Amino acid sequence: MGGECCKVVLAVIFPPFGVCAESGCGCDLLINILLTCLGWLPGVIHAMYLIFGREKHHHYHQGNAA
């Protein structure tokens, strides 16, 4: 939970930092940088989706695989 709070704070301050902490350097980071260039809010929304939306999706699929 503590790591998630740090990611959220980073995502609000500068969205690509939060995405990099969550997903690493990759396609998600590039998309977030482009969205952040369009405006701060689209970058924050995308970062929050990656931090919160993917976590639930990942846990759901892990539970079904076992």
Considering the chain, what is the average pLDDT of its residues? 86
Instruction: For residue 38, tell me if it sits in a domain.
Output: yes
In terms of C-beta distances under 8 Å and separation of at least 24 residues, what long-range contacts does 20-29 make, across chains too?
22/47, 22/50, 22/51, 22/54, 23/50
Q: Give the position of tokens 């639930």.
A: 56
pLDDT at 49 over 90: yes
- Which residue segment(s) compose the domain that 50 sits in? 26-65
Asked whether residue 53 is assigned to any structural domain, the reply reads yes
Over residues 48-57, the mean pLDDT reads: 80
Element of type H or E holding 38:
helix 27-38
Sorting pLDDT into bands at 50, 70 and 90, what band is 64? low
| Average pLDDT, integer, range 33-40 | 97
Does residue 48 sit within a domain? yes
Axis-axis angle for helices 40-48, 15-23 (nearest 10): 20
Task: Confirm whether 35 is domain-assigned.
Answer: yes
* Total number of domains in the chain: 1
